[in-house]
Structure 1
């Protein structure tokens, strides 16, 4: 970006990948609004627009990049009751995909109105490409939707200087991954990662920082894997 002090919004920034991303951007001189669940529940459809407006005000009316990292990873067993299964599906879709779409839409409209360039970085998942466990149909579907949305944004608005990137981590050592590894048998899952370990939040953050600040415009639409070769395309 040409601006020496880019203004960036990061969601899901209380811990793990999101916090690492915010820290990496701040270290590079960016002004960051780091949003977390204490600022509002993205499961509420009214919250994304409010958070955008509040962040925009904090950043003096200019946003240069949006990083959608917030997400939930909640089991939704197939044999749950119909109402419970659908409620689990709907919540994951709202938090992981729809709220991100709402924020992407507001960002694109902001840049179109101002005539400025801008960047979107969506933190998806390896699950978007290879699926997930039987209890996580909804999670894989939400992340697959995020990848498709990112590609659509990139194709639709590249000529306007609006760029979009998706990052697909595999297991990353965050609270969600630790719980999942424990529940599924960590040693067996680690054996599926040729690198022999899960990624660190800092590794994913470095890739997100690059996309938000440095990636060449011709990379728009890229879907970047960071999973220790556990899924290769």
Structure 2
């Protein structure tokens, strides 16, 4: 049975991914900031939280985690005309939650997998990073920090894939565009709501279940040769 640590699993994409992975027979160890409903609690604004989460998850998983899904995220406006200290605080919180915590957990996962034997297929573990279209094309003037964090996540993912493919450690990334979640709702409203859909050739934002299917694929089914790849899901609003 595959044991998966899924961060940010209480709502939106994370909740949909939790259900999708459980339906495949996986043991899914969920996380949210406050915990509850069987999920482990960890506030990623605290530097020690990722390590504590990893250790608790490893204990719950019986000393084994096969897949790490970095999905936790913070998407909050940070206008450039904010007071300096307020702008910096928001920047640091967003970078820590969206990037630094994912980096810490990825490091623990890589170390964990390097310490164990590869399976018959030569694989040791999988990483799935839920990034964003913003990591490629940028975002609004009030979301520099979010775009920077997701761009950093994509660079980290590629680095891990190149460094550890020969070790049987696979890394995949997903870059959604707008998705129908509570996190994106305020942004959609602030940017004109339905008018914003004119920027999406598909004419619709993604549903959480669509992104969850990609997470499920990367966590369980993606071929090894896809390691290092980023799967875009943005309705053709950004085509690379």
Structure 2 length normalisation: TM-score?
0.94
1:58 corresponds to: 60
2: distance between equivalents of 1:178 and 1:135?
Answer: 15
1: distance between equivalents of 2:43 and 2:54?
Answer: 13
Structure 2 unaligned residues grouped into runs of 5+: 35-40, 119-123
1:195 CA displacement: 0.8
1:37 corresponds to: 33
1:228 corresponds to: 235
Deviation string, structure 1 residues 26-71 (Cα, Å, up to 9, x no partner): 0000000010111021111100000000011111111000000000
1:170 corresponds to: 177
- How many residues align? The count is 229
Segments of 4+ in structure 1 off by > 4 A? none
1:115 CA displacement: 2.7
Deviation string, structure 1 residues 164-183 (Cα, Å, up to 9, x no partner): 01100000000011111111
1:132 counterpart = 2:139:
yes
Q: What is the Cα-based RMSD across aligned positions, in Å?
A: 0.6
Structure 1 length normalisation: TM-score?
0.97
1:143 corresponds to: 150
1:28 counterpart = 2:24:
yes
1:187 CA displacement: 1.6
1:82 CA displacement: 1.1
2:73 corresponds to: 71
The alignment partner of 2:113 has SS state of helix
2: distance between equivalents of 1:125 and 1:86?
Answer: 22
1:198 corresponds to: 205
1:218 corresponds to: 225
The alignment partner of 1:121 has SS state of strand
2: distance between equivalents of 1:132 and 1:184?
Answer: 11
Structure 1 unaligned residues grouped into runs of 5+: none
